[in-house]
Amino acid sequence: MIYLSRFSLPSESREIGFLGRSRENKRTCYTSRYPFGIFFSREMPALELEPVTILCGGNGSGKTTILNLIGEKLGLPRGTVFNRSSFFGDYLELCWAETSPAFQEAKRRSKVVTSDDVFDYLLDLRYMNENIDHRRRELLEEYAGARYAGFQMRSMEDVDRLRQVVDAQRHTGSRYVRDRVMNDVVEKSNGESAFAFFTKEIQEGGLYLLDEPENSLSPALQRELVRFLEDSVRFYRCQFVISTHSPFLLAMRGAKIYDLDSVPVQTCRWTDLEHIQTYWQFFQEHQGSFKDQETAP
């Protein structure tokens, strides 16, 4: 499913026309007018989007900027704020997004998801677990007081205390605590929790802008995320625009990849990307180590 079919950034001439300055002056002061100047002299084409479109490039290439512009142009919700200058709104007005009729229905399920969102989610889990640890200590003290208390019931007001004492005497301390807090304990690593965050946030029939979702994920979990995203496209009518350096995500079936480091910016195969070639050269240089593993007893 395609909800966003085309997204255009302003041409260099439109940027210059808006600012009323020459190209040379623009180059000397563009950092204060972000995002003006980010794509200067890059010959940036209109992005023609597919069910999976990936933006790849080095630091400062504009991957995140494009996702932020798309998200703001379409009015998509997001969890964390991003840096924006006073010129951001002016630049945004010069951008153009073309959506399908189905987008209006999909919009309520669509969102921008960044690595900061994942980080905040992991912090929330840590905070919850710290509170659970505090509650566990309280319950162990409560258990000890109930199990070894010389309790006698004197009125109906003592019923709850009686139940507590009986429960404590029937179970071990660990069982007593587990029965009361175990459902709230998060027993996952950061990577597993990060993966669970994506499965929770991504619902059927939505447009999702994912900014470097591989952060916090091991290679194995990155591959698991790829399978989840591919299934979400194939079976659940989702569309994704992703910025990433991950070779696993770049190799997604049917993904259209824009190389933001090339001039002009153009689509390419994932194996043609410079940093993928760097991975390949690294493993080629160390292939003897893998052969040693194969021959080891």
Q: pLDDT (tens digit, 9 = 90+) per residue, 68-101? A: 999 999 999 998 888 888 899 999 999 999 999 9
Q: Could you give the residue range(s) of every CATH 3.40.50 domain in the chain?
A: 4-115+189-287
| 3 state SS of 177 | helix
| Average pLDDT, rounded, for the chain | 80
- Which pair of tokens denotes residue 41? 């002299």
Phi, psi of 261 (to 5 degrees): -90, -15
Spatial separation of the C-alpha atoms in residues 240 and 283, rounded to whole Å: 30
The pair of three-digit structure tokens given for residue 231, joined into one six-digit string: 């299934």
Fold of 4-115+189-287: Rossmann fold (3.40.50)
Q: What is the DSSP letter of 80?
A: S
Average pLDDT estimate for 197-225: 93
Among candidate residues 181, 211, 213, the one with its CA nearest the CA of residue 197: 213
Q: Give the mean pLDDT of 160-164.
A: 53
Rounded mean pLDDT, 95-113: 96
pLDDT at res. 33: 84
pLDDT tens digits for range 222-272: 999 999 999 999 999 999 999 999 999 999 999 999 999 999 999 999 999
Residue 194 pLDDT class (50, 70, 90 cuts): confident
Of 222, 264, 262, the C-alpha closest to 246 is 222
Q: Give the residue among 48, 104, 18, 21 at the shortest CA–CA distance from 257.
A: 48
Q: Which long-range contacts (CB under 8 A, 24 or more apart) does 196-200 make?
A: 197/117, 197/118, 197/121, 197/122, 198/113, 198/118, 198/225, 198/228, 199/228
Which pLDDT score, from 0 to 100, does residue 174 have? 47
Which pLDDT does position 154 carry in this prediction? 57
Say how far apart CA 105 and CA 52 lie, in whole Å.
19
pLDDT band per the 50, 70, 90 thresholds, residue 168: very low
Report, as an integer, the average pLDDT of 206-217.
93
In terms of pLDDT, which residue wins out, 149 or 117?
Answer: 117
Helix axes 190-201, 115-147, angle to 10 degrees: 110
Judge if pTM exceeds 0.85.
no
Rounded CA gap, 46 and 96, in Å? 9
Helix, strand and coil content of the chain, in percent to the nearest 5, comes to 55, 15, 35
CB 113 within 8 A of CB 213: yes
**What average pLDDT does the segment 38-52 reach?**
91
Burial class of residue 83, CB neighbours in 10 A (0-12, 13-18, 19+)? exposed
pLDDT at 48 over 80: yes
Token readout for 202 is 């991504």
- Confirm if 195 and 224 have CB atoms less than 8 A apart: yes
Q: What integer pLDDT is reported at residue 80 of this predicted model?
A: 83
Provide, rounded to the nearest whole percent, the portion of the chain with pLDDT above 90: 50
| Tokens representing residue 128 in the block | 């919850």
Render pLDDT for 121-160 as a digit per residue (tens, 0 to 9): 776 665 554 544 544 555 455 545 554 455 454 554 554 5
